Structure 1
Amino acid sequence: MAEYPVIADDEALDAAVSALAAGEGPFAVDVERASGFRYSQRAYLIQIFRRGAGVFLLDPPALSHFDRLQELLSTEEWVLHAASQDLPSLRELGLEPPRIFDTELASRLLGHERVGLGAVVEDTLGITLAKAHSAADWSTRPLPQSWLEYAALDVLHLIDVYEILTRELAEQGKTEIAAQEFQAVLDRPAKPPRTDPWRRMSGLHTLRGRRALAIARELWLTREELAIAQDVAPGRLVPDRSLIAAIAADPDSKRALGAVKDFTGRASRTEIDRWWAAFERGRTTAELPRERVPGDTLPPPRVWADRNPEADLRLKAARPAVEARAAELNMPTENLLTPELLRRVAWEPPAQMDAETIGQALLDAGARPWQIHETAQLIATAFVDSVQESDDSSEAAS
């Protein structure tokens, strides 16, 4: 097994930057987090590979700054796999790519059936990567050498994969498509904070009444506060199902709460005072949450025929056309045009249903120019046909 030292002080980082500077070509970059173990999404290991330099494994919590590294990394393209997952953690450290190549996204655009890193490496290079530590707690210190080898292999082959996928994109005429998609990943703004994030608790739908929801809200907020303070994933303190079970049990005292069999989790009893205080706040607050909250999400397509028959006809006419075009382009339909974008323009189309106005509506909703080029006319034609079909049905009925 190869030995991979971890760069854990600024002097070693400076030496790594000098070595990377002596290499050539793009940088392969990957990040290991501790999702499911820690509250934060911070990077606990950064892997960088460059031809002529080798693999470098960085321990971000142990390093004080990344200014010189960023200066070097800003000179060349970065190759990542599933870049949207890693970029937030890297940006938190001040590491920002000038441009990227995403091997997962490229594989999707090329119509590859398997797009996980191991599958892409195997399909392109014939090399099998062990994924034994993919769900490990990367905040562990010291990191076992077997984990470090696994992490190094995640970037060691990425440049070879990048070159093969680049050729495939050119052969399929998708180089510009990929470039627009990669740029969209870079430009995508961070998601705004959710309104009432506690409403995403698993099992919340089983509770009845606004008072029960108020207790759920207080328990969720209390758990969130504790999780942040301890930097522990909330579900590892007390899982959602345990909070819901406690509410359903309707305990009349702290002791009764502690006796609820399904109220489990490593902090369920050690923090019993905290949970009971949340119960009491939920039971006494005058600020009761509404049972249903209006949102900007569209109703599910299965109810469109009753709620908006014209939109239902438009969607049913346009969807097969978009799916057929995706098949012709040898890519998943959701990469050609996400179902949400198609549903939005079908639900509330522009007054003038031609390719130009449909294209503008798609652009306003976040579609890329290549997606509009491939789908706007198809959608416009389908919408017009659906109007004709509706008219014909009306005449037949009369």
Structure 2
Amino acid sequence: MNASPPGAVVTGIGIVAPTGIGAEAHWRSVLLGKSGITRITRFDPDGYPVRLAGEVPGFEAAEQVPNRLVKQTDRWTHLGLAAAAAALDDAGVDPAAVPEFEMAVVTASSSGGTEFGQHEMTRLYTRGPSWVGAYQSIAWFYAASTGQISIRHGMRGPCGVLCCEQAGGLDVIAQARTLVRGDVRLAVTGGTDAPLCPYGLTAQLATGQLSTVDDAARAYLPFDEAACGYLPGEGGAVLVVESAAAAAERGAGEGYGTILGHAAGFDPPPGSEREPALRRTVERALADADLGPSDVDVVFADASGVAERDRAEAEAISAVFGPRAVPVTAPKTLTGRLYGGGAALDVATALLALRDGVIPHTVGPTRVAGGCAIDLVLDGPRYRPLDTALVLARGHGGFTSALVVARADRHRRRTA
């Protein structure tokens, strides 16, 4: 195994999630099993089959974002700007002190500026085209958050956005790793989402995978024999990724952890009778990390909550690691699936778990479904030394991604 320090480290975490604003607030909620799932308050959900979701509590855009940007951008971008600022502050980075072309921004996006777009369409249909604001053309756009983060912090290096739904949150972190291995000193990466408006919820209903159960404790039960779909949510996480050399040069140390490996895949067409991409994707991510299955201490599952998809994920995990051979967890039952922000939040949670030596439990499920031969962590956190974590994500339509992260001092512990 490779004992040299990997080239990409996570030095800052910014979280805006239904479980709390700030990395430590979120982490406390996760360890306590404190859910952020509530009845939707951003609009009246009566008349919709889904009335529960994960909403970010107490988030006021005017307190986080310059007033002009509040009016020009969507809530999804407000959340992204707040998370990015928190991540930079957590990393101790002053962007003004870093060459502007050596800072990159790459984020994941799923629904884009849904709420902003709905408001402008309402104006169009009720008042006419002259009432549609000029910012409609950019506020809904998938790259809006990337653009606004780069502008606000003077980051003029490579900037981009990946639209792979939930899987995109892992793919952009892998892209950040690639960038900092080159001429980029640091990359701001991750994602947020804000799909909780009538237009956004209606679009999500088209998948047929959302839970319509009104009991928040039983509405999102991945891998459970009573699995009935998933709940949506808003928010996510933004990370600061730096080259190990750049972090050491500015005295940032080893940060939260290192990005060891990644792979992405795409499921074959339905009805093709070909194997889903997840198992192969996991194997390629482990190979990229120069690890074997026995080196992984915990798996953060995609956990769709849809029985067939849960079973397929459990089969892939069992095929790689063996039946019930590795702890599996899904803290996203506390937040709902956050689409473009969900996988990045899982990575942030995994890094905190590695830091503190604790595997958070999965709140909600009580009886693992037949055919799911996994060691799903239930009832409470498991405290033990942890070195590496595998994070899985799948996006609607077939996107598949796997990312391996490691404890900051893993390379020293393994060679001691």
**Shared fold (TM-score greater than 0.5)?**
no
* Higher RCO structure (Cα 8 Å, ≥6 apart): 2
Q: Which has the larger radius of gyration?
A: 1
Q: TM-score range by the shorter chain?
A: under 0.3
**Higher share in strand:** 2
